Amino acid sequence: MKQYGMVIDLRKCVGCGACALACKTENNTSLRGNGQTHNWADFIHETTGTFPHTKFRTLPVLCNHCSNAPCVEACPVEPKAMFKTADGITMHNDERCIGCRACQDACPYSMDEVMKDGSSGEYSVISYNQEGEPTQKFFTSKTEVIKKCSSSGAELVSLTKANPPYRHNYNHPDYENVRRDNIVEKCIFCDHRLKNNQQPACVDACPSGARVFGDLNDPGSEAAQLLNKDKGFVLKESEGTLPNVHYIREYSAR
C-alpha cells in the first residue's frame, strides 16, 4: 500500500523559514490565535553544550501523519473528522469537526516536545481556530496599515474580491481553503496539490532541497532511497505512533 511521507535532511536545512511562509501562503493559516501561532510548518531551534564547545540544530516540525495516529483514535464523531486516507495521509474533515479538541489532547507532538538532549520547544501540529476569531483577522480590519499612506485589510479584500486575497480555491472534498472558527486544522501534506501531481508547497519552496516527499513504501522513490541510505530518526519513537516524517543526517555550527 502507498504510504506518503517526508524525509528532512538536517544537513541541508538552515532554518530559513521558506517552508513556513509557503505553507501559510498556500493554506491560509492564521497569524495567531488562542495564544499560539498556527504554523503547520514550524521549527525547534536547539543550542547545546557550553561555549566554545557548542552545537546548533534547526529541527523542522509538522504533522507526522502517523500510521498509528492517536488523533484519529481519539476523534469521537462518526464518521470521524480525523481519519486516515488510502495513501497514508492523516486527513481532517472540516464539516464533521465539532471542535472538541480531543485530537490535540491525544497528539504527543502538539505540545512541548522534549528532545533527546533535554531541550524543548512548543509548536502547533494541530491548531484550533478560537471562536469569534476569524482565520485571517487582518483582512477584516478597517484600519490603514500605514496611516494616510496605505489601504486597510478590509479595503484590500474589497478590491481583490477575495477573502483573504491570496487564498487558493483548491476545492478539496474534506478541507475548506479557509477554515471557519471553532474547529481544528492541520497539515494535510497539501493533498489538493498531490491530486494535481504537484509536491507539497513546503517541498517546492525549500531552496536547499532539504525536504523530500514521496511514497515511503516504494523502493524506487527518492524518499525511500534516502531512508535506505541514511536510517535517521523520528520524533518520540517510543510512543509507538509510527511517524511518517523522518530526519536524516545532522548539521552542527560550532
Domain spanning 4-134+172-248, CATH architecture: 2-Layer Sandwich (3.30)
Instruction: For strands 4-9 and 245-248, give the pairing.
Output: parallel
Q: What is the DSSP letter of 250?
A: -
Task: Encode the chain (254 residues) as per-residue pLDDT tens digits.
Answer: 899 999 999 999 988 999 999 998 888 887 654 445 577 888 888 888 888 888 888 889 999 999 999 999 999 999 999 999 999 999 999 999 999 999 999 999 864 443 444 444 445 688 888 766 666 778 888 999 888 898 898 998 898 887 777 667 788 999 988 888 889 989 999 999 999 999 999 999 999 999 999 999 999 999 999 999 998 999 999 999 999 999 999 875 44
The confidence score (pLDDT) of residue 161 equals 82
Can you spell out the DSSP letters for 13-67?
-----HHHHHHHHHH---S-BTTB---SSEEEEEEEEETTEEEEEEEEE-----T
The confidence score (pLDDT) of residue 122 equals 47
The confidence score (pLDDT) of residue 153 equals 87
Taking the C-alpha atoms of residue 100 and residue 77, their distance in angstroms, rounded to an integer, is 10
Domain residues of the chain, as ranges? 4-134+172-248
pTM attached to this predicted model: 0.85
Taking the C-alpha atoms of residue 177 and residue 28, their distance in angstroms, rounded to an integer, is 7
**Identity at 116, one-letter amino acid code:** K
Taking the C-alpha atoms of residue 183 and residue 99, their distance in angstroms, rounded to an integer, is 4
